[in-house]
Chain A
Amino acid sequence: MAFRVILASALCLVSLIIQPIGPAASPANAQDSLPPAPYAYQQLDNPAQEQAAMELMHSLRCLTCQSQSIADSDAPLAGDMRHQVRTRILAGEEPEVIRAWLVERYGDYVSYDPQISASTWPLFAVPLVLLLLAGIILFKRLGRRESQEHSDPGS
């Protein structure tokens, strides 16, 4: 049953995502008619600030694309978000503050960098468990073998 739900929602997502491709297919002027967002395609003058902005933009999802960050997308929404990020960095805001603001606006989905929360804790707990499990396996397989080897060299 759960799979059906995933499937249905995934298909909704597909249809959502396919729609924007339609208009984008007609030549490129959709973007130019939008209100100007100068920092969508313009770098900040200060290289350190630009790098901070770039790092942040690479870890934010373009909500109207398929698996692309806003840094990599030509979608209008991604351009607007880049403009937001660069403007805020220029105003001296910390990248993590900007991320939090965007998450508040668009939800967890917008950030590729999941933070520990009620909905994401398994992402962090499972690797820990795996680490423990790996330790136990290695200890059992290698540790035990060694002691047996010592006590029973003939085996």
Chain B
Amino acid sequence: MIAELGHAALWLCAALAALQLFGGALAQRGAQAADVAALVRPAAMAQALLAGFAFCCLLWVFAITDLSVKLVATNSHSLKPMIFKLSGSWGNHEGSMLLWVAVMAMAGGLIALVEKRLPEKTMQATLAAQGFVALGFYAFLLLSSNPFERLPVPAAEGQGLNPLLQDIGLAFHPPTLYFGYVGLSVAFSFAVGALVTRQVTPDFARAMRPWVLAAWVFLTLGITAGSYWAYYELGWGGYWFWDPVENASLLPWLAATALLHSASVLAARDALRTWTIMLGVVAFSMSMLGTFLVRSGLLTSVHAFAVDPERGTFILILLALYIGGALLLFALRAGHVREGERFQLTSREGALVFNNVMLSVILGVVLLGTMYPLLTEAFDVRVSVGPPYFNPFGAVFAIPMFLVMMVGPMLRWRRDSARRIQRPVLIIAVLVFVAAVLALILGDMSILALLGFAMAAGLAVASFMPLRGRKLARVPIATWGMVLAHFGIAVSLFGMASESAFTTERLAAVEQGGSVDVGGWTVTLAGVDPVAGPNWTAMEARLVAQRGESDPIIMTPQSRNFWAPQMQTTESALATRLDGQLYAVLGNQADDGRWQVRLWWKPFVTFIWYGGLLIALGGVLAIIGRVLEDLKRRSVRARADERRADRREQGYA
């Protein structure tokens, strides 16, 4: 019954999305459609409620393990812990699509409820765009991947969930990315609304900005968490492999980064109008690529689950419709957008434009490297594109970007002179140089690691420069956000450079009581014992790790066997210190009874993810700052209106 209710709610949602689309479109025609147009906002709110309800229905059937629902039978198991039963509802294709569209509907309902700054027509066009995007998802869910489909005969037991996915980090990793993608689709809807009604104004940028920022925060968190997950769960000690699925989350992040900076320029200075709109279109296209390419199974990697070709074709048609439609609209309408305010090369806008272009080029390179192997495969030519390609080609554009990023925030809007900021620039330049020389002396490292250290040093100091000479208590919250986020980039870069330059690895076959040295640690194999969990058995090693004279610690890496479905995984063990991480993996037992042990000492590797968290925190501060500013502006405006009304009354009196 619950499943049928959810299914019915989805159909209603689709109808409401259609109403939103046509109501919003008719509203552009003029006053005679006012009746329909007035329905657009309520339709968006109702759709939000119903889509939320449908998702709750799905959660419910998973919570009670209703094995007559096909999705539950194929993806869940009555013995699974409750948290993984629930996360299993979105850990599969159909459920994740439902989560996506439910979050999107709720975002639409929220803007319909609170966004009052923009002209009504622009809002209606925005919600129409939302309806259009949502309609595609509903069609996809209802026609080719119904999450509520029943089995003719209920299954006796579920087929379980991929044990690799039975991990708390991964349970929340995909939804985090999805929230990011949804945020970008909202930004896109705003861009369409502004483009259709030719209202590309600072108000539009202000309305869009919190959504871009929120999307960016979620994407940052999602990428950071995903990278850490890959690092400790896959057991190969790496944190980023330029895997197509990883790239699918990086591409929207790059676009969102560019978009949020460009939207800031539009909001503050009424410049970069078409550029902001274009980035909105690109960011949305990238998030659709991220959502659908992964889902279609086109990108094969640990993340991708096999999907039947019918569904894949559906996905590709949707993708073409969305991206093609967005680009077409942009091509048709962009010419009508008036040029924004002008600025000089040496100005904050100038620096932002430069870095926006750099980000876009990096995006182009990553997109090319990700899609090219798929393209050539169509002609039976198989090539692989990996880190040796992405790292140098990315760096060529990233290094100038980091350099400009050090200086940009110190510049004034519109026009500035290089001489005014001579001194801080000199300090930073000396720092970069000294860091590079130090890195050169310290160790034999790759050129990229060396540049990484130099950039990290310069950026770490430069990110705080905008605060100099200001009363700290009076610095706006959003500025703190920028400072923190930029500093986070420096922290991450430092971690990456250090990981690349100073990691030591030991691979050894150890007998019981034998020990291995790695990066200042002595690791002794105390024993290997069988252990069991709720749905797995494992061999667990007890490793005694000691650094210098400090107290020894026990590490317990496992080699696990799950039985539903059958699968072997390695569970690495980590010991985190301020200056790095000791990473241990247990391999197989050799014929002579010795155990394979793989150990890494990775100095400062954790900084990579601390940096990611700082960046996200910076984004959160920026959202808080901007929203507070908006609220203040709103109340000031309200008070001014009141006063005006008072005066008018007095005048009449």
Contact = CB atoms under 8 A, between A and B. Distances in A.
A10 B300 contact: yes
Interface stretch (B84-92, B134-142, B237-245, B282-290): B237-245
Interface string B631-644: 00000000000000
B476 interface: no
Contacts of B513: none
A114 B389 contact: yes
B527 to A, nearest CB: 18
Contacts of A13: 300
A109 B382 contact: yes
Contact of A41 (B297, B380, B507): B507
A123 to B, nearest CB: 6
Interface string A23-45: 01111110110000000011100
B296 A7 contact: yes
Given A32-B591, A114-B384, A127-B365, A138 B389 contact: no
Contact of A145 (B296, B342, B357, B374): B342
A69 to B, nearest CB: 7
B300 A146 contact: no
B345 interface: yes
Contact of A149 (B245, B396, B415): B415
Nearest to B597: A41
Nearest to B242: A112
Nearest to A14: B306
A105 interface: no
Interface string A8-21: 11110111011001
A72 B237 CA distance: 8
B580 interface: no
Interface in B240-273: 241, 243-245
Contacts, number: 177
Contacts of A81: none
B236 A11 contact: no
Interface string B375-399: 1111011111111110001001100
Interface string A79-119: 00000000000000000000000000001111111100001
A10 B374 contact: yes
A10 B297 contact: yes
Nearest to A146: B345
Contacts of A15: 306
A78 to B, nearest CB: 11
Nearest to A33: B591
A145 B587 contact: no
Interface in B270-322: 296-302, 304, 306, 309, 312-313, 316
Given A67-B301, A149-B344, A11 B386 contact: no
B342 A24 contact: no
Nearest to A58: B387
Contacts of B567: 21, 25
A7 B382 contact: no
